[in-house]
Every structure is written in structure tokens, then in C-alpha cells.
Amino acid sequence: MPSGYSLYIDRPSYLHQKLDPRTKTLILVATFVLSLLFNGPIPLALMLGLLLVASRWGMVPWSVIRVLLVTGVWFVALSVLIWPWYVREGTHLFQLFGAWITTDGMLFGIAMGLRVTIMVMVASLWMFTTSPQKITASFLKMGLPYKAGMAVGSSIRLVPLIAGEWTTIVEAQRSRGVDYKQGGLLRRAKKSVQILGPMLLRSIDIAQSLAIAMEARAFGSRSGRSSITEVRLVSMDKWVMLLGLVAIGFGIFCRIQGIGVLLRNYL
């Protein structure tokens, strides 16, 4: 199996070396919950700003952050194009194809784009600052069966691996004179078969190699397993976990009171 592809970026930051993976997982869940509780653009924009600060604190390269932000701009633009057609509340701005575009529809579209951006960014930050080995070890500590923990860890590992294989196949096909950026949509779709075919075969080969490697190591022969990677909660982890739970409780309170909520009838 090829190696070298991983979302984890080793850095000497507190997020990488000191914070327990279980703590980061709780923060991940708390961020997801908070992003779902608020549907106004202001609190979601503040959350995105905090994630940017955390990314820099975690020494995530600017090149990675820039890619995530550009992706977020696309999410926001797509949401602004879609949601105003469904949200009718608010002041009418202009009429387009017989439908009124409202202020609440535009703001809600921005908020939904920010929500997706937040989810993508916090998940990326979680994977960038936590090694797959520690993720698996933390799941085992939380009581997850070791087979399920291995499945989760392998899935996280396979995502960048498959992405790397995709890049390799594209570059190999380009070296053979196949240009995927020329021609119309139908022609480019036909050319993509030259990538999808090898990619499918390569994915099967990677999965088979992983299965053979696990069988060679007698995976599943015992009910438990040992691990060279150790994770341990310290006092700072407990305080951060408490902060995450308090944040969830505060978000539920704000949702009930309508604070940071643009439209109550929408998620």
C-alpha cells in the first residue's frame, strides 16, 4: 500500500502534542451542534473566526487554510443562490423570474454557507492536528470495540490516500496527452472514464492489500488488543471538555430564546 498521504500535519503545537484526542473530538461535536443551533450569519461568522484563530494556533499552514476558505466562499455563494428561493420572510429586495428575493432569504443563505464551512473547517482541523493512531486509541479508551476503532482509523487514513492516488492517475494520464480541461461537458465526461476506471481498480487493490496485511497480523484473533500509542486526560483536558459542554448548553439556551436565530421555523 502506498504511504505518505495523510491529513495529519505534525507540528509542535499545543493542539498536536498536549490536547487529548477525546477532548478534540468533544470540541468537534460541540462545534457541529452549535453550528446547527444558530442560523444567523453573525454568530456563525464569529465561530468561523474562532476556528481561524485555532487553526493558526495549531500551526496549520496558510496554504491549507486558504484552500478551506476558498471552498467556504463557494459554499456561501451556492447557498445564496439556492436559499432565497425558499425563504419568503423579510423585506422584498427584487424580483427574479417571478419570485421575490428577500433580505432574510439572502442572510439565511449566507448563514447556511457559513454553517457548512464551519463543519468542513472544524473536521479538517481535527484531522490535521490528530494522528490516526491517537484517534483510534482514543476511541478504544471511550469503549468503542477495537474492530470498530480500527475501521474508523483506517477510513480516516484512506481518505487522503485515495485523494493522492487520484492525483497520481490524473498526472499519469496527462503525461500521455489526455487533457481534461478541453472540450465540452460531454467530452470531458467521456475523458473522465480514463480516470474513474483506474481509480476503481486501484481502490480495490488498496482495500485488498489492507485486508491481507490485517490477516497476516492475525487481526481479530483476540477479543482485545494492545496499543503502543497511549492517550491520557490531564486537568486542562477536563476544563476544555467542561467548556465545550457549557457552550452546548449556552447554544441550546440561545436557540430557545431566539438569540442568534434568524428564522425560528428553519434548522
> What is the mean pLDDT for each group of 10 consecutive residues in the chain (267 residues)?
58 86 92 93 94 89 88 92 84 77 88 94 89 81 75 73 79 76 70 78 82 78 68 88 94 92 81
pLDDT at residue 4 in the model: 46
Q: Which position has the grid cell 483510534?
A: 136
At residue 231, φ and ψ (nearest 5 deg) are: -125, 145
**pLDDT on residue 226:** 65
Specify the pTM.
Answer: 0.77
Q: What is the pLDDT of residue 224?
A: 63
Position 26 scores a pLDDT of 93
Query: CB neighbours of 241 closer than 8 A, spacing ≥ 6?
Result: 22, 23, 26
CB of 249 closer than 8 Å to CB of 256: no
pLDDT of residue 6: 61
**What is the predicted pLDDT for the residue at 174?**
79
3-state secondary structure of 5: coil
